[in-house]
Amino acid sequence: AVCSMGNSTSRLYSVLAKTLSSGAVSQHQECLEQLDSAQLDPIDPKELLEECQIVLQKRPPRFQRNFVNLKKNTASNHRPIRVMQWNILAQALGEGKDNFVQCPMEALKWEERKCLILEEILAYKPDILCLQEVDHYFDTFEPLLSRLGYQCTFFPKPWSPCLDVERNNGPDGCAMFFLKERFQLVSSANIRLTAMKLKTNQVAIAQTLRCHETGRLFCIAVTHLKARTGWERFRSAQGCDLLQNLKDITQGAKIPLIVCGDFNAEPTEEVYREFSNSSLNLNSAYKLLSPDGQSEPPYTTWKIRPSGECRHTLDYIWYSQHALNVNSALGLLTEEQIGPNRLPSFNYPSDHLSLVCDFSFNQDPDRLL
């Protein structure tokens, strides 16, 4: 059954209704091919936001988060590019595997949780959206975001843990969305990451885009590295593989780069140092929120599992610091906002916080690395 979305159910959720009637991912794909999202009516984002708020009217209001202005006194003659990074928590894992002991199952209901996720995306209006743990791509995110003007790409994990959960919705994976009115796709690569020359279960998407306004090329990538303590060397190897792929795609940093991801790694880990010290000259955007510009936030995920409380910094937006400027970054939730039961909750749909940055091109594109 499809959740009623107010009076506009048939207008806004016609795609959703049709795709939800299919069980398997292959059927979702078939259904989408028949529907051809490009031929469907565009959705007014304000109207969709109102529809989500109708569904969420019994839940607490969204948390207030403010952008922190980081812009130096460098003039930019183009609109900033807003990039959003978010591990949205796979529905099958949230309900079936992750054991968030302080989170009521009622808070994880997909029909409402998807509206919390959409509300967050619609509130920040990213030009580029990078997501991990997407297991409702074909029945929710592709049908809706394509009608909001995004070009959509999905790359599932080969052996997704979601498939072990009864009544799952197919595999989870990484997804990337960019606004077609702002960018043209030049090239796209789906990368299955390797470690010690072995193919792994972790993936990445890397797309080279041309900005319509400036004509400038840049590469945007999304990834989700291996989780859990004890896998540090494995993550390091995956990071090296991803960096090598990105060096090839960006012609050794000639093309500016933004990398979004849940790295499952604290800043003390080797994979973090690899990205910091790469020849691609990357910096982590959220370090700029710290007083000295050198420290990562204290957390990007905060949850309570049977083993105890887990507060970690695992999510990052890396960028070519020679070619791009960070104009602003979205502040994180405070401990008070998150509350004693931590995440996810009735207030917030994921165990990871969304990261959002506004980028502008450096006005001297020939500046040396």
Give the model confidence (pLDDT) of 249-273 as tens digits: 999 999 999 999 999 999 999 999 9
**Greater pLDDT, 348 or 16:** 348
Omega prior to 298 cis, within 30 of 0? no
* Residue 314 within any structural domain of the chain: yes
Q: What is the largest CA-CA distance in the chain?
A: 57
> What secondary structure letter does DSSP report for 118?
H
CA distance 80 to 207: 19
* Residue 12 within any structural domain of the chain: no
Residue 96: the pLDDT is 87
Paired strand residues for 72: none
* Residue 322 within any structural domain of the chain: yes
* Mean pLDDT, all residues of the chain: 89
> What secondary structure letter does DSSP report for 172?
-
Give the model confidence (pLDDT) of 262-321 as tens digits: 999 999 999 999 999 999 999 999 999 999 999 999 999 999 999 999 999 999 999 999
Residue 73: the pLDDT is 64
**Total of domains in the chain:** 1
Residue 76: the pLDDT is 73
Which runs of consecutive H residues, i.e. helices, occur in 125-198?
Answer: 142-147
* Residue 228 within any structural domain of the chain: yes
CA distance 7 to 159: 40
Give the E-state strand segments of 196-344 in sequence order.
198-211, 217-224, 257-262, 282-284, 301-305, 308-312, 315-320, 324-330
Question: What CATH number is given to the structural domain containing 227?
Answer: 3.60.10.10
Residue 364: the pLDDT is 67
Residue 213: the pLDDT is 96
Rounded to an integer, the average pLDDT of 59-87 is 89
Res 328 pLDDT > 60: yes
Which of 176-190, 237-251, 304-318, 352-366 has the lowest average pLDDT? 352-366
* Residue 137 within any structural domain of the chain: yes
Backbone angles phi, psi at 227, to 5 degrees: -90, 170
Region for 125 from its dihedrals, namely left if φ exceeds 0, alpha if ψ lies in -120 to 50, beta otherwise: left
Instruction: Collapse the DSSP code of 269 into the 3-class scheme (helix H, G, I; strand E, B; otherwise coil) and give the result.
Output: coil
Give the model confidence (pLDDT) of 39-53 as tens digits: 678 999 999 999 999
pLDDT band for position 9 (cuts 50, 70, 90): very low
Residue 365: the pLDDT is 54
* pTM of the predicted protein model: 0.90
Domain, as residue range, for 121? 78-361
Give the model confidence (pLDDT) of 83-134 as tens digits: 999 999 999 999 988 889 999 999 999 999 999 999 999 999 999 999 999 9
Residue 5: the pLDDT is 41
Which of 70-79, 240-249, 352-361 has the lowest average pLDDT? 70-79
Strand pairing of 355-361 and 324-330? antiparallel
CA distance 282 to 294: 13
Instruction: Collapse the DSSP code of 163 into the 3-class scheme (helix H, G, I; strand E, B; otherwise coil) and give the result.
Output: helix
Share of the chain above pLDDT 90, in %: 82
- DSSP states of 138-197: IIIIHHHHHHTTEEEEEEE-TT-GGGGSTT--S--EEEEEEETTTEEEEEEEEEEEEETT
pLDDT band for position 37 (cuts 50, 70, 90): low
pLDDT band for position 77 (cuts 50, 70, 90): confident
* Residue 62 within any structural domain of the chain: no
| Contact between 204 and 242 (Cβ < 8 Å) | yes
**Among 33, 15, 263, CA closest to 141:** 15
**Triad 304, 307, 312: Cα angle to 5°:** 55
Centre a 10 Å sphere on the Cβ of residue 163 and count the other Cβ atoms it contains: 16
Rounded to an integer, the average pLDDT of 229-245 is 97
* Residue 32 within any structural domain of the chain: no
pLDDT band for position 217 (cuts 50, 70, 90): very high
* Residue 55 within any structural domain of the chain: no
Res 24 pLDDT > 90: no
Length of the chain: 369
Rounded to an integer, the average pLDDT of 322-347 is 96
